Amino acid sequence: MDPSSVMFVLEELAKFAAGYSGRAVEVAERFREDFAAKHPELIEPGDSEAPTPRPDVTVDAEIDALIDRGEA
Amino acid sequence: MSYLPGWVALLVGLALLVTGCSRPLATATATANAAAHSLKATQEALAERYREDQLAAAGRVQGDRSDPSVKAEQRDRVRAVRVKYRPLWDAYAIAYEAWLEAVVAIQIAEQIDGADSGLEMVGVIEAVRQLVRSQRRLVTMFAEVQTDGSQ
């Protein structure tokens, strides 16, 4: 096991510990179990719950259209 | 939707993967799913903020909205907002690509018998590690933009 990996993870968990009264790991475990129970199948591109590749392009097109129509 | 639950689950998933767990492929799947939720929540919040900032910039231009010179000024103001957000969208694109790579690595591992103890898991773990790094960068950059806007 790469020691830097362990340090990296511990560092991240320590950051969250400050916000969860020292029970970060328990809280985080519960989140992970919750996700695993709700989403047992791998979410893939195109699924409704998947992120999209270029959301900024959609916003830009909407704003450009509003300016063109004089509605911005 | 908040990115925090998915982000926390993503970190725990990586912790379990790098320190060893009984069902690494199932853990990797849950972790990739958590990453998808975290990324989508960040995407929605970022897109909304991006949209509002552009509308505000265009709205600050005075004059007749049908006047071509007013429209040109609005486009200039909007362009400045887009330039400001470009590094964030670049970071988003990197996080999205990292998520895609994790999905592919898991799909490959799923197709191979005994993947839970095989070399394929090394690729899965590295992909999840990149996922955490890229999402951490994105979340940090977005937090900075939110702080700038609230001051």
Res. A2: pLDDT tops 50: no
Query: Counting one residue from A and one from B, how many pairs have CB atoms under 8 Å apart?
Result: 134
Instruction: Work out how many domains chain B is built from and give that number.
Output: 1
pTM comes to 0.80
Confirm whether the ipTM is greater than 0.85: no
d(CA B29, CA B124) in angstroms, rounded, equals: 10
Test A63 with B18 for CB contact under 8 angstroms: no
Whether the CB-CB separation of B30 and A28 falls below 8 Å is answered with no
CATH number at residue B144: 1.20.120
B27 interaction partners in chain A (CB closer than 8 Å):
36
What percent of chain B clears pLDDT 90, i.e. is strictly above it? 50
Work out the burial of residue A9: count CB atoms within 10 Å of its CB; fewer than 13 is exposed, 13-18 middle, 19 or more buried.
buried
**Residue carrying the six token digits 């991240």:** A12
Identify the weakest region by mean pLDDT among A5-19, A43-57, B104-118: A5-19
- What's the mean pLDDT in A32-50? 84
Test B18 with A16 for CB contact under 8 angstroms: no
B138 interaction partners in chain A (CB closer than 8 Å):
none
- B35-44 pLDDT, tens digit each: 898 899 899 9
Test B40 with A50 for CB contact under 8 angstroms: yes
Neighbours of A20 (CB within 10 A): 14
d(CA A31, CA A37) in angstroms, rounded, equals: 10
- B81-119 pLDDT, tens digit each: 999 999 999 999 999 999 999 999 999 888 886 556 577
B46 interaction partners in chain A (CB closer than 8 Å):
55
* Among B27, B36, B50, beta carbon nearest to A49: B36
B106 interaction partners in chain A (CB closer than 8 Å):
42
* Among B12, B55, B107, beta carbon nearest to A32: B12
Test A12 with B132 for CB contact under 8 angstroms: yes
Test B36 with A67 for CB contact under 8 angstroms: no
